[in-house]
Structure formats: structure tokens, C-alpha cells
Amino acid sequence: MPLMLDSPSVATSATSSNAPLDPREERRRLHHDADIVIVGAGIFGCAIAVAMGKQGRSVLLLERSLKTPDRIVGELLQPGGVRALRELGLGECLEDIDAVVCKGYEVSYYGEPVHIPYPQNADGTRPEGRSFHHGQFVQKLRVAAMRCLNVTVVETTAVDLIKDNYVGQVLGVECSTGGKKDYFFGSLTIIADGYASKFRKENIPHNPVVRSKFWGLELIDTVLPCPFHGHVVLSDGPPILIYQIGTRETRILIDIPENCASASVKNGGVKGHMQNFVLPSLPESVRPSFKAALEEGKLRSMPNSYLPPSTARIPGMIILGDAMNMRHPLTGGGMTVAFNDALLLSQLLSPEQVPSFDNTKAVLKQMKTFHWRRKNLTSIINILAMALYSLFAADDAHLRTLQNGCFRYFQLGGIRVSEPSGLLAGIIRNPLVLVYHFFTVALYAIWLRICAASLFMKPVELVNGIGVFWKAVMVIGPYILSELRA
Ligand SMILES: Cc1cc2nc3c(=O)[nH]c(=O)nc-3n(C[C@H](O)[C@H](O)[C@H](O)COP(=O)(O)OP(=O)(O)OC[C@H]3O[C@@H](n4cnc5c(N)ncnc54)[C@H](O)[C@@H]3O)c2cc1C
Ligand SMILES: *[C@@H]1O[C@H](CO)[C@@H](O)[C@H](O)[C@H]1NC(C)=O
């Protein structure tokens, strides 16, 4: 029987139908009690539910709406995310959703393109990403969770934590199911309720910072200059992202920073920005479908947040996914972070490592290891996204110098393309490679200006270069520091 997620009553029947009687399943269904309670059946929640269910843990996965999500987020999965998804045994979630292969990027700078393919694997093949409709992919993940015998999925909204106030331990969550109060208990509660997390405020020492929004449109039958590649369009304004999400559908995401002049009320707001700035800067072949989509007017927006990572400290509870750590979606790294985190967490909290989650001390100890070990990959994705966004949304002279240097650096080819694209892809897992390329770009940017200057102006450019270099330090420094904190 196919699992029809959009029908309301599947949640409980899906897990119990053909399964032999399992007392733990009954405990979950009747007593709302499990080893783990997970809040949010999104990208991270589904992945960790399946991973832990397969390890033999009893899992309750709570989701406020099991309907197909209709969002403009999480549509391009980098190769490093595809790999983690496969290692989680969830590779088939990418099948039958009309997913499109992604082989790398094309960056266009004032109309001049540079090709940035993902770097070759050791065996000569090339890694591939996938892009798709977010909702269809999430439904696949949810079905995979429902099929897992040790996981029970329940449609309910978490409203509060249940705490033992005496020892400060989290025992589960209070929920609202169809307006009625409901309680779910677990030795461990994992919060994965996404970017607008309800539980972040009291439990995490940082607040998300939003510098810009992505405005999204769906284009139909667009011809991309470089098929099977993500496109980044750079010119005088903030960056634009274009990638296919289905055989006929293409997503365009337009970054609009707060206080963006071309999107001011005087200039016709967001629509004005689209008409006067975006349309002329797009590749010729994309303009007709962009115009059509603009006329249809289904513009939607999402905040682009930055939230540095933090260590879990509260006994009985872990916060992960976007609820704990976010970076600008320019580089499409969020889901790659989520799947790699799920993989690492399931290894560190495996029954061999931590036989029972009741041992909250052992869990917290493993979480410390988790916090540092995940950084091999996630610090790269976090820093790269934020630093690249600063360059691509350049709003002062020094940043524009760095932006130009970055593009010219890519044009040099060789490892100047393959290593940055390996970092972006989530394949290269050494943060020093990122730091190396970032500062080489800065020096190259300064060098280009000195070369271009007249003899008289060369000393001036040299001095100016100090300013550019300092800017580069200020762009990347804070993000590096935030990764070094516990
Ligand atoms: C504009 C934009 C574009 C992006 N594009 C990409 C991209 O191309 N590639 C990429 O890898 N990443 C992208 N991301 C990031 C990516 O979407 C996230 O990193 C990823 O979805 C995080 O997964 P999550 O499980 O933490 O949250 P989500 O996937 O948002 O899941 C959270 C789940 O929790 C549920 N929930 C919320 N509150 C409650 C509650 N109280 N009770 C029960 N359930 C609840 C929600 O319904 C949802 O199902 C983008 C982000 C933005 C903003
Ligand atoms: C469920 O858990 C049991 C152990 O409790 C394990 O033997 C079994 O393999 C798990 N089932 C699935 C489908 O992963």
C-alpha cells in the first residue's frame, strides 16, 4: 500500500499496519514514550529518526504538518550531502521526484561567465549534486521514517518542554494535537524545528542575524546557459541564484539586503528591483520566463539568517539543524550540514557508545566531541557561505575589489577552481584549504589593481591594498572566531 502522506490519518496506521506486535511500538503509540522524541520531521529530523531507528532505538518523530511543504528552501543538495544521505541509507529518497543532476556552477560577472565544475573524484568520475522540489524530497524522507519499524510519526505541534525542574533535565515535550494537550516522553529530546525554532531562545546563547532576504520565483521552461549547473549572476547589485528544480521548473532566488536602494519604495519596491535591476542583468535566455513569472506575481521570500553553532549543555536535550546553526543559503549548504550532522551524531550516540540515553552525562560528553568533530565540514560550509556572500553582495569599494579578484582567480583555473568548488560541494574537509584560498584571492585582488594602475598610481594602490587586505580579514575573521568558540 502506498503511503499517502497528504491524507490526514496515516500517521499512526503507517507504522502499525503489517508489523508484528512490538511492545515498544505500543509504548510509543499508547503511552507516548520512547528512547528519543524528535521535534520536526524536516530535513534533519527525518534523517536522524531513521538513523537511530535503524540502530534499534525507539523513536517518536513529531511534526506539526505532514502535508507536502511548499517552500523556497532546501532545493539543491551538494555532492557532500548526497554522499551523507546515501551513507544514512536514504539515497533512494532522491528517486522518483524528478530531481535534476547538478555538476557544478557557472558564475557570471557582468555577463562574463566562468565554469566551476565539481572536482574530479580519485577514480576520475565527477561527484554530482541533486536539485528538486523541496516538498517532494521532504515527503520521501518522511515516508522513509514511517517505513522504519522503530519510528512512529505523529502529527502534532510541540509547544513546550517538559522539564524536571529539580535537576534541570528535559523529559520530553508538551504538544498540541488538534487543539488538545498532549505529552511525549523520551530519555533524549532532539529539537529540529527549523529556522524559526520555538525552543531556541531559552536554550541557545545566540540569536539569528538576518542581513538579507531571498525572493523566489519559479520559472517554466527556461533555457539555462549551462544546463545541469547552478548559476550565480553578479553585477552591480546583490547576487542572483538560478538552478533547475525539475524537468520544466527552474528556481530563481534574488537576494535583497535590508536597505537595498534599488528595492526602496521610491524605486518601486521589490517589484521595481526585479524589473529595473534583475531583468537586465539576467542571461538573455532566462529573461522571457522571468518576465512571465514576474507577471504571474507568485513572489515569495525567506530570511537569510546567520546563526553560529553552539554546544549542547542541557541534560536530556539536543538542538540541531537550522534551529542550532544557520548560514547564508547562497552556497546551498544547509541540507549538507544536516545530513552530515545526522550521520556523525548517530555514530557518536550509537548503542555501542551510549547504551542508554538515560545516561545524560554520557550523552553530553559525546555532544562535546560532536561539536568539534562536525567542524571539519560544517565550519567550511558556514564560513564559505558567509564570506562569499559578503564578496558577492559587495557594497563598498574594497569589497568590489575582492569580488573582482575572486572572479579573476576562478578564471585562472586549476586548483583555483577545483579546490574552492570542492569546498562548496562539501567534499574537501579541511578548513585550512578555505583560509588559504580566501587570502590568496585577497592578495590576487590587490595585485591586479597594482598591475592595472599607472606608474604614478602604483604606490597609491599598494597603500590601498592594505585597506583591501584588512577588509578581507574583517570579512572572514568573525566567522572563523565564532567557529573556534565552545
Ligand atoms: C531561501 C533559502 C534557500 C535555501 N536553499 C538551500 C539549498 O538549496 N540547499 C540546501 O542544502 N539548503 C538550503 N537552505 C537551507 C535548508 O533549507 C535548511 O538548512 C534545512 O531545511 C534545515 O533542516 P531542518 O530540519 O533544520 O529544518 P526544516 O527542514 O525547516 O524542518 C523543520 C520541521 O519542523 C517542523 N516544525 C516546526 N515547528 C514545529 C513544532 N513546534 N512542532 C512540530 N513540528 C514543528 C516544520 O514543520 C518542519 O517540517 C535554504 C534556506 C533558505 C532560507
Ligand atoms: C528495530 O530495533 C531492533 C532492536 O530493538 C532491531 O533489531 C531492528 O533491526 C530495528 N528495526 C529496523 C527496521 O531498523
Give me the CATH number covering residue 61: 3.50.50.60
pLDDT tens for the chain, 486 residues long, are: 345 465 444 444 444 455 567 899 999 999 999 999 999 999 999 999 999 999 999 999 999 999 999 999 999 999 999 999 999 999 999 999 999 999 999 999 999 999 999 999 989 999 999 999 999 999 999 999 999 999 999 999 999 999 998 988 999 999 999 999 999 999 999 999 999 999 999 999 999 999 999 999 999 999 999 999 999 999 999 999 999 999 999 999 999 999 898 999 999 999 999 999 999 999 999 999 999 999 998 999 999 999 999 998 999 999 999 999 999 999 999 999 999 999 999 999 999 999 999 999 999 999 999 999 999 999 999 999 999 999 999 999 999 999 999 999 999 999 999 999 999 999 999 999 999 999 999 999 999 999 999 999 999 999 999 999 999 999 999 999 999 987
36 lies in the same domain as 18? yes
Task: Report if residue 299 sits inside a domain.
Answer: yes
Ligand 2: distance of its center to the CA of 191 in Å? Answer: 23
The residue range of the domain holding 363 is 10-69+136-205+309-374
* 64 Cβ inside 6 Å of ligand 1: yes
For the CA of 51, the nearest ligand = 2
361 lies in the same domain as 409? no
Task: Report if residue 154 sits inside a domain.
Answer: yes
Question: What is this structure's pTM?
Answer: 0.96
Residue 193 gets the label, from left (phi > 0), alpha (psi -120 to 50) or beta, of alpha
Query: Cα angle vertex 256, ends 255, 259, to 5°?
Result: 155
Ligand 2: distance of its center to the CA of 220 in Å? Answer: 44
262 lies in the same domain as 370? no
285 lies in the same domain as 319? no
315 lies in the same domain as 241? no
For the CA of 54, the nearest ligand = 2
220 lies in the same domain as 314? no
What is the Cβ-side half-sphere exposure of residue 451, based on CA atoms within 13 angstroms?
A: 7
List CB contacts of 61: < 8 A, sequence separation 6 or more.
38, 41, 45, 46, 49, 145, 151, 152, 153, 154
31 lies in the same domain as 168? yes
338 lies in the same domain as 452? no
Which residue, by CA, sits nearest to atom 31 of ligand 1?
Answer: 42
* Rounded-to-integer distance, Cα 134 and Cα 76, Å: 8
* 208 Cβ inside 6 Å of ligand 1: no
281 lies in the same domain as 354? no
Beta strands 33-39 and 100-102, pairing class: unpaired
For ligand 2, residues with CB inside 6 Å are: 53-54, 56, 148-150
What is the C-alpha radius of gyration for the chain, rounded to an integer number of angstroms?
23
Q: How far apart are the first and last CA of the chain?
A: 48
Question: Own/partner pairs for 432-436, CB < 8 Å, 24+ apart?
Answer: 433/380, 434/380, 434/383, 434/384, 435/476, 435/480
160 lies in the same domain as 299? no
Look at the chain and report how many structural domains it folds into.
3
User: 284, 305, 326: which is the final residue of a domain?
Assistant: 305
- Dihedral (C-alpha) 212, 425, 397, 482: value to the nearest 10 degrees? 70
Going by C-alpha positions, the residue among 100, 400, 408, 113 that lies closest to residue 284 is 113
Letter for the amino acid at 416?
R
191 lies in the same domain as 226? no
Going by C-alpha positions, the residue among 299, 310, 326, 77 that lies closest to residue 196 is 326
Q: What is the model's pLDDT at position 19? A: 53
292 lies in the same domain as 335? no
